Amino acid sequence: MPTKILVIGACGQIGTELTMRLREIHGNDHVIAGDIREGNEMLMKSGPFEIMDAMDADKVENICLHYEVEEVYLMAAMLSATGEKFPDKAWKLNMNSLFNVLDLAKEGKINKIFWPSSIAVFGPTTPKTNTPQHTIMEPSTVYGISKQTGERWCEYYHEKYGVDVRSIRYPGLISWQTLPGGGTTDYAIDIFHQALENNSYTSFLSENTALPMMYMEDALRATLEIMDAPADQVKVRSSYNLSGMSFTPAELANQIKKHLPDFSINYEPDSRQQIADSWPSSIEDTAAREDWKWTARYDLEKVVVEMLEHLK
């Protein structure tokens, strides 16, 4: 029997590709895309779509019951940079949407949840390099606070109510299909678009700001793998560290120059620099490797080749 799945936030950077991937696996009609706005044509035409506000508990429940949804992927969220502009809205969206799906699972109306966390759960007092799974977490952005709080609630619902919720701390995600929105790591996507259009880029992060990053292909595979893993192998029920690669704007620019020799970059750090400075520069992910056999496949060189090829 194919699984009935709802993706909330299906039109975003991750949601779009995740929905298409899930439709390939489970069949188009079994994967319902939900978002507050319509998405690209491919997504809209390939299967069921519902306009929904992730904060609207009744709407989320009605859609789950109507389609007999078993699994929910909750991808709707306000990211770090936008969250700093609208702290109140970010908190409400990120928390209310999570409680809506956690409560549905607690009441036995759905069976399984995927909810992404982020490297933003870490803060200025966290060890910066090879940041371990369990460490100091004092996030300084609203987005980070909401993700850290969300992690605590996921673990709580798992322990107290047996809710099968699974989570990954995504690094900055690099992809070409759908643009990201409002994140601090977005520069690593903007740079490719600008390189191909103008042969130059003004980075809003400084030259030597190293951040953990991952290619979308790896992130999607990690998401599907953790959801497929037997429940007893998913031992961390807050959220797993996940490592792909780590690089600075200068290193990324140098790699792009290998393909576009005239490409130039300059640096004009803005308010997002402070956010980036509070995050780790690299992540240690032994727990994910051991528990559900995670391993990344893309390094910076490979990502640059793929991004330029697809965006050309």
- Please identify which residue in 64, 120, 165, 307 interacts with ligand SER, judged by CB under 6 A: 120
Minimum distance of ligand SER from residue 116's CB (angstroms): 8
Whichever of 13 and 105 has its CB closer to ligand SER, that residue is: 13
Q: How far apart are CA 144 and CA 130, in angstroms?
A: 19
* DSSP 8-state symbol, 131: B
Q: How far is CA 196 from the centre of its chain?
A: 25
Query: Using the rule CB under 6 A, is 80 a contact of ligand SER?
Result: yes
Question: What does the alpha-carbon distance between residue 230 and residue 226 come to, in Å, rounded to a whole number?
Answer: 9
Query: Judged by CB under 6 A, which of 15, 123, 139, 183 binds ligand SER?
Result: 183
Provide the token pair at 213: 């990053």
Contact with ligand SER (CB under 6 A) among 172, 244, 249, 280:
172
Minimum CB separation of residue 210 from ligand SER in Å reads 14
Would you tell me how many other CB atoms lie within 10 Å of the CB of residue 186?
22
Which residue's C-beta sits nearest to ligand SER? Answer: 183
> Of the two residues 15 and 47, which places its CB atom closer to ligand SER in the complex?
15
Residue 220 beta carbon to ligand SER: minimum distance, rounded to whole angstroms: 15
Query: Least distance in Å: CB of 99 to ligand SER?
Result: 20
Sheet holding 5-8: strands in order across? 49-51, 31-35, 5-8, 71-74, 112-114, 164-166
C-alpha span between 187 and 245 (Å, rounded): 15
Give 150's contacts (C-beta < 8 A, 6+ positions apart): 94, 95, 98, 115, 117
Q: Are the C-beta atoms of 33 and 10 separated by less than 8 Å?
A: yes
- Residue closer to ligand SER by CB (options 32, 154) is 154
Q: Write down the least CB distance from residue 301 to ligand SER, Å.
A: 21
Backbone angles phi, psi at 149, to 5 degrees: -60, -45
Mark the segment that binds ligand SER (CB under 6 A) among 150-158, 178-186, 251-259, 303-311: 178-186
Closest to 7 measured CA to CA, from 156, 176, 223, 170: 223
* Helix (H) or strand (E) segment spanning residue 7: strand 5-8
Size of site (CB under 6 A) for ligand SER: 11
Site for ligand SER in 131-150 (CB under 6 A): 143
Marked catalytic residue, from 73, 143, 240, 298: 143
Q: Which is nearer to ligand SER, 157 or 170 (CB)?
A: 170
Cβ atoms of 239 and 154 within 8 Å: the answer is yes
121 binds ligand SER (CB under 6 A): no
Instruction: Give yes or no for residue 13 binding ligand SER (CB under 6 A).
Output: no
Q: Verify whether residue 143 is a known catalytic residue.
A: yes
Per CB under 6 A, the list member of 122, 170, 204, 294 interacting with ligand SER is 170
Query: What is the separation, in whole angstroms, between the first and last Cα of the chain?
Result: 40
Q: Which residues are designated catalytic?
A: 143
| Residues at the site binding ligand SER, with contacts judged by CB under 6 A | 79-80, 118-120, 143, 170, 172, 183-185
